[in-house]
Amino acid sequence: MLKGIPAIISPQLLAVLAEMGHGDELGLGIPQLLKAILQLLPLDIYVESPAAVMDLVEDDKKRKLQTPVWDTYLELLKDAGCAKPLEKVERFAFYERAKKAYAVIATGETSLYGNLILKKGVICPDDQT
């Protein structure tokens, strides 16, 4: 047991986060886990958006399906210092990108379009405390 690490972060997940390099991606889906990960993982500030979600398919766009979990993600990202928008990735492109992610975390997330990909950044010298 270590101090300062959220209990939801398992030893294996902590190792994966430490092993990731700049630009590696992590697929996940659950607000509680996202909040904990954002305490540890620097996001890439050199891309338009370091967080990506699967865009709605055309039928869901036509029926104006709501994705409230995206608002939760945006709030958590903002709280972590990232005010950039979520990147919306076409369904099959999202699947391909997730296959190439450094790690994928299987969670119990049940929200529609709740999957999320994060891009790891670097820790700037000014950010080290």
Secondary structure (H, E, C), 38-74: HCCCCECCCCCCCEEEECCCHHHHHCCCCCHHHHHHH
Residues pairing with 53 in the sheet? 88, 116
Domain boundaries, the chain: 18-121
Share of the chain above pLDDT 90, in %: 78
Work out the mean pLDDT of the chain and round it to a whole number: 92
CA distance 65 to 76: 22
How buried is 40 (Cβ within 10 angstroms: 0-12 exposed, 13-18 middle, 19+ buried)?
Answer: middle
> What tens digit of pLDDT does each residue of 35-74 get?
999 999 999 999 999 999 999 999 999 999 999 999 999 9
- pTM of the full structure: 0.86
Instruction: Give the residue numbers marked as catalytic.
Output: 22, 44, 95
Alpha carbon 9 to its chain's center: 14
Q: What is the CATH number of domain 18-121?
A: 3.40.1650.10
